[in-house]
Each structure stands twice: as structure tokens, then as C-alpha cells.
């Protein structure tokens, strides 16, 4: 199935970000097609969240440029979702969805229904499970009909089963309403199951750029997906063992086996 182009196009040109002497991103070029689902993997500290914050406009790059092109002349609407749900405990579920927006109760209720929380608008966040709270956070992001949805490890705190349910929900909503999605995750399988494209950040830039051309729906357990997963995991493990090996050589020590 070919999806109609929708959502924002993202163009990063030689983006760099440093904190003091520390270069986190360097000379990063990237073009993301409108309506595509792109995931970012990489070792801890590789700059995945930094990149997302830069795309969201929450942080400025130290070098290079970021361009977002929407479907119309208006500025691109982007919304971000985090590992923490960031719900306000003193507001009802529905009023959390409507945060900063007035008078769109019908839409908020329809969205709560779409995320599997029909009739729970009057509940307090504390009355919901972690997965349900993330559903509210998703509904809140979608109320703004973003052309760009930025997901920073949004299922990281959820148990394995809830996590898969959330992945399926996000995929279904994305298929229903095309928009560009950027997902930062540590879960290689999650990235491969959900994405059109998986990017592995390394050394401040894009190390690997994989197009996942498997049909959706039956990806989990597919031999090609399993092979990609192994290959990516190996690549993520290698820099660490190479560094340790180099450190040992320098120190003149041998690895211990116990
Ligand atoms: N505001 C900041 N000030 C100083 N250093 C920062 C700041 N934000 C991020 N960093 C540093 O930049 C590097 C990249 O951080 P970032 O959170 O983007 O990595 P990440 O790939 O998302 O990591 P993780 O997978 O652990 O979440 C880290 O070394 C971090 O300490």
C-alpha cells in the first residue's frame, strides 16, 4: 500500500550540537519524507533526545540548519511525547487532553475513544495505569493534529505486554491519519516493527540508515527482521567492547573471565 504524502518534511543540514567541549551531534544531514515513520537508535548518550529536542524547536543547534516543511503555508505543528506522561494530577483526564485548548470537548472525547479510553474522561490521572496514562498523553498530542509527532522513548516505562499494545495503537492511529513520526527508542525490535526507516546514531551523526520494506502486520518474528535486529544489536555492542579492549591494551591488562 502506498500512503499519500502527508505530514511534515524534515531537512537537517550539517546539524551540530555541543555542550561546552562535548560534541554530541556533528555534521548531521538528514531528510525525512512526509508521512514516514522513522526511528532513532543508538547507544546511551548518542544524542537521540538532543536531536528530537532540536527538531521540536526546544533547543537550538550549535551549527547547521533545521527546516520543517508542512502541507500548507502555516508553520508546522509538532507535538512531543515523553517517557513520563506529564499529566497534571489535579486535572481530569479530559481536561488534561484539553490542556491549553478550550471548547473542543467532543474532539477530546473522540480521541479518548480512539486510544481505548472511552468514558474515562472524568477520571483522575492517579486512577489510571501507566499504559492508560500514556494513552491520555497520546490523545493530548493528537488533539493538535500535528503534522510531526515526536516520541521520545514513550513506552520505556511500560511492561512488555502494555508496550506492544501501545505500539499497535500508535501504528493504527498513524495508518488512519498519515503524519510524520520520529521515534527515539532503545528497543531495536520496536523500531523495526513500527518504522519505514531506522537510523542508528553513532559518533554524532547517522551511522546506519535502513529502509524497512517488510509489509506491516506480520513483521514480528520475520526472518529478515530477526536478522536486522541481530546485526543492529551487534553494531551497538561493538563500539563498547572495542573501547574496553583499547582501554585494556593501554593499561596492559587482560580481560578476566570470572
Ligand atoms: N542540557 C545539557 N547540558 C549538558 N549536556 C547535555 C545536555 N543535554 C544532553 N547533554 C549530554 O549530551 C549527550 C547526549 O544526550 P542525549 O540525552 O541526547 O542522548 P541519548 O542518545 O538520548 O541518550 P539516552 O539513550 O541515554 O537517553 C549526553 O552525554 C548528555 O549528558
Quote the CA–CA distance of 224 and 184 in Å, as a whole number. Answer: 22
Q: Is the CB of 46 under 6 A from ligand 1?
A: yes
Burial class for 6, CB neighbours closer than 10 Å (0-12, 13-18, 19+): middle
Query: What is the arithmetic mean of pLDDT over 223-251?
Result: 73
Burial class for 48, CB neighbours closer than 10 Å (0-12, 13-18, 19+): buried
Contact by Cβ (8 Å): 143, 107:
yes
> What's the gap in Å between 78 CA and the centre of ligand 1?
21
Which residues does residue 209 pair with via DSSP β-bridges, in sequence order?
199
pLDDT one-digit tens code per residue, 97-110: 999 887 899 999 99
Where on the phi/psi map is residue 2: left (φ > 0), alpha (ψ -120 to 50), or beta?
beta
pLDDT one-digit tens code per residue, 60-82: 999 999 999 998 888 899 999 99
What SS3 string covers 110-127?
HHHHHCCCCCCCCCCHHH
Q: Residue 23 in 3-state DSSP?
A: strand
Side by side, which strands form the sheet with 180-184? 78-81, 148-152, 180-184, 37-41, 197-202, 205-211
Query: What is the arithmetic mean of pLDDT over 113-125?
Result: 94
Q: Where are the beta strands (DSSP E) in the chain?
A: 9-19, 22-32, 37-41, 63-69, 78-81, 148-152, 180-184, 197-202, 205-211
pLDDT one-digit tens code per residue, 156-193: 888 899 899 999 999 999 999 889 999 999 999 999 99
Q: What is the pLDDT of residue 240?
A: 56
DSSP classification of residue 3: P
Which residues does residue 180 pair with via DSSP β-bridges, in sequence order?
148
CB contact set of 188 (below 8 Å; sequence gap of 6+): 41, 229, 232, 233, 236
Q: What is the pLDDT of residue 213?
A: 95
**How crowded is the C-beta side of 250, counted as CA atoms within 13 Å?**
6
- Point out the ligand 1 atom lying closest to the alpha carbon of residue 50: 18
pLDDT one-digit tens code per residue, 3-40: 555 899 999 999 999 999 999 999 999 999 999 999 99
- Quote ipTM for the complex: 0.96
Residue 218 — pLDDT band, cuts 50, 70, 90? confident
> What's the gap in Å between 103 CA and the centre of ligand 1?
38
Q: Is the CB of 258 under 6 A from ligand 1?
A: no
pLDDT one-digit tens code per residue, 131-165: 999 999 999 999 999 999 999 999 988 889 989 99
| Helix ranges, 150-222 (H) | 160-176, 188-194
> What's the gap in Å between 206 CA and the centre of ligand 1?
16
Q: What is the pLDDT of residue 5?
A: 57
Amino acid at each position: 500500500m502506498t500512503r499519500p504524502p502527508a505530514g511534515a518534511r524534515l531537512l537537517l543540514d550539517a546539524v551540530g550540537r555541543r555542550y561546552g567541549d562535548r560534541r554530541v551531534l556533528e555534521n548531521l544531514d538528514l531528510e525525512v519524507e512526509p508521512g514516514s515513520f522513522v526511528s532513532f537508535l543508538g547507544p546511551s548518550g548518542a544524542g537521540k533526545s538532543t536531536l528530537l529536542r532540536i527538531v521540536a524547536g526546544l533547543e537550538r543547534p550549535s551549527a547547521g540548519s533545521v527546516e520543517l516543511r508542512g502541507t500548507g503555508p502555516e508553520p508546522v505543528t509538532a507535538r512531543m511525547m515523553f517517557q513520563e506522561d506529564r499529566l497534571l494530577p489535579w486535572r481530569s483526564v479530559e481536561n488534561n487532553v484539553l490542556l491549553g485548548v478550550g471548547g473542543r470537548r467532543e474532539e477530546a472525547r473522540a480521541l479518548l475513544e480512539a486510544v481505548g479510553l472511552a468514558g474515562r474522561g472524568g477520571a483522575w490521572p492517579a486512577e489510571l495505569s501507566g499504559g492508560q496514562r500514556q494513552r491520555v498523553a497520546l490523545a493530548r498530542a493528537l488533539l493538535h493534529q500535528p503534522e510531526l509527532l515526536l516520541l521520545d522513548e514513550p513506552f520505556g516505562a511500560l511492561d512488555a505486554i502494555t508496550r506492544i499494545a501501545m505500539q499497535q495503537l500508535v501504528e493504527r492511529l498513524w495508518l488512519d491519519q498519515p503524519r510524520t513520526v520520529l521515534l527515539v527508542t532503545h528497543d531495536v525490535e520496536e523500531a523495526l516493527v513500527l518504522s519505514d526507516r531506522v537510523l542508528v546514531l553513532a559518533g554524532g551523526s547517522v551511522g546506519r540508515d535502513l529502509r524497512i520494506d517488510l509489509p506491516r502486520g506480520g513483521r514480528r518474528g520475520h526472518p529478515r527482521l530477526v536478522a536486522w535486529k541481530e546485526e543492529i544489536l551487534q553494531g551497538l555492542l561493538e563500539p563498547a567492547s572495542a573501547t574496553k579492549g583499547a582501554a585494556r591494551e593501554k593499561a596492559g591488562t587482560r580481560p578476566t573471565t570470572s
